[in-house]
Structure 1
């Protein structure tokens, strides 16, 4: 592991501070009638029964879910980019999220409940979706072109999303049960969602720990990584398993939320450089920051209603994607 220098510690401290402020803001601001002042008094133990319900029963669970899902998507994004050596790789653009969504819809259509659908279903769908995109890219000799890899991913994601929509059109029960889930949101999730999501995210992060150094070596090229004693294909396989665990868990908990896996690694690399040994921890902290901030904006934009959180993340992420693509040179990771 690289030495922790003062500037890196300062960056981590700044990320933690921003995360704390965003988390507090998530508890204070909402689309309802409870004002920030009333929410703050509630946190200090002086609020009314109605305010306590809003803060602790509505805002607190969605904030915790935002912390969990944001960390999972941020880590998945930086690992997927390191695995493919492609700064444009993002779970939503490479079929990972779409594969998880299709798997969940299929499970519901075959009789499962969207509230109790097996986490393994979403994880399997995420892994299959990602592997299909990478396989087609390799067969078409597109693996060395970041833009074409993303185009292949976008095409497959659109295909999987179209299949999902087709199933929902022909199965009214599935459409009614999954309509709220499929738009991607932190609101309306039960406390049980957190209970079964935590193990999936922890398992994905634990699987990543022994892969950090090999992934850093892959940035030097496969020959160099092999010379250092690593097995590139094996490293990529387990890295994709970890990504599938993280994205599958996040998607089954909050629905498909795009662009977090693109925004967060982009910012993390700007702050600490491209080395995954340095950028992974900032990504874990910045993921919840971006997701919870987007959730706050979704609550306040059209009060007393809420926008789908995916609309906000797309508004933030699309300009970043365009900026990377339009750059003079797309960096190799």
Structure 2
């Protein structure tokens, strides 16, 4: 019951944020004009702004945030690592490399064109990080993060080399790399929706098994759970969700990290109970970052990726300091 109340409450906040997202910008609109334009076929300036400019970026922010929220909860449960986050596990760097390769070597110039390169890069990086971490026999709580940091540094160096020697590639790449919803093609999120849905379905299927694995592998096996199968399903779900979100919106660091900690503090560690709240919370947090970025720099804007990093970096630092102080 508590989880349902929280989902409805955060859902109400998300609804208010949607109205704010449609109203706030270089040209502010009154809430009444927003609602009128949203539910009618107005062809005036307000209708064009709402339907063609702000509604696509709002829907993309909700899509990316929900994916990252669910992925954050899965990452924490599957890795038992409070620092797990797409930005820390090489997903962003892999997607960035995919975009650079598409622009520099295949001449792709549109988001709808290089989205599949970004998806392949993000998925490949995630698989490499998980393989490297599983190959480490130490029971290290931050082993996965260390593997992600190492791969991110390597891929980031390749990206910088390519963009430094090719000005045209750099100009095209920087609009994606900043993590913004401005001028995002709504067709991109639509293309990635099947992968996100598949990731959510997998997350729901493995959620009960992940909860049972928290009791220990031996006890989980006695309950009929296959730890290897559950971890495989969780890894596939994380890869699909993170790759879809990063490909659609660019790198958005710390969203999954923030959501995982907020949801765990609100409803406990049950993955099955946490997933709906994580999806709504991730969507609300991402959209709030986008709206806040537009408010604090009018008539310009600060990109949502920068705002999310500003909010998440202190939490990451606090977690690392707390862990290093634990005997």
Cα deviation code 1:158-212 (max 9, x no counterpart): 3222221222222333223322111111110123223212222112112222211
* TM superposition shift of 1:110: 2.3
Give 1:68-217 correspondences, 5 Å limit. Answer: 68-111=63-106, 113=108, 114-117=110-113, 119-146=115-142, 148-217=143-212
Segments of 5+ residues of structure 1 without an aligned counterpart are 1-5
Contact 1:143 1:149 in 2 (8 A): no
Q: Give the TM-score normalised by the residue count of structure 2.
A: 0.90
CA-atom RMSD, angstroms? 2.5
Give 1:287-302 correspondences, 5 Å limit. Answer: 287-302=282-297
* CA distance in structure 1 between the partners assigned to 2:22 and 2:45 by the alignment: 14
Contact 1:72 1:247 in 2 (8 A): yes
Cα deviation code 1:110-146 (max 9, x no counterpart): 2152423365533332233223333444445454223
Q: Which runs of 4+ in 1 moved over 6 A?
A: 328-331
Pick aligned residue for 1:306 from 295, 301, 304: 301
**2:240 aligned partner:** 245
Aligned residues: 325
Question: Which sits farther off after the overlay, 310-319 or 163-172?
Answer: 163-172
**1:67 aligned partner:** 62
Contact 1:38 1:47 in 2 (8 A): no
Q: Judging changes above 3 Å, is the alpha-carbon distance between structure 1 residues 57 and 166 closer, same or farther for their aligned structure 2 residues?
A: same
**1:3 aligned partner:** none
Pick aligned residue for 1:267 from 255, 262, 266: 262
Q: Say which SS state the counterpart of residue 106 (structure 2) adopts.
A: coil
Question: Which sits farther off after the overlay, 211-220 or 64-73?
Answer: 211-220
Q: Judging changes above 3 Å, is the alpha-carbon distance between structure 1 residues 229 and 208 closer, same or farther for their aligned structure 2 residues?
A: same
* CA distance in structure 1 between the partners assigned to 2:122 and 2:247 by the alignment: 10
* CA distance in structure 2 between the partners assigned to 1:328 and 1:101 by the alignment: 30
Q: Give the TM-score normalised by the residue count of structure 1.
A: 0.88
* CA distance in structure 2 between the partners assigned to 1:157 and 1:136 by the alignment: 13
Cα deviation code 1:233-280 (max 9, x no counterpart): 232222222211111111111111111110111111111001101111
Q: Does 2:45 match 1:50?
A: yes
* CA distance in structure 2 between the partners assigned to 1:228 and 1:122 by the alignment: 39
Contact 1:216 1:275 in 2 (8 A): yes
Q: Say which SS state the counterpart of residue 110 (structure 1) adopts.
A: helix
Pick aligned residue for 2:278 from 274, 279, 283: 283
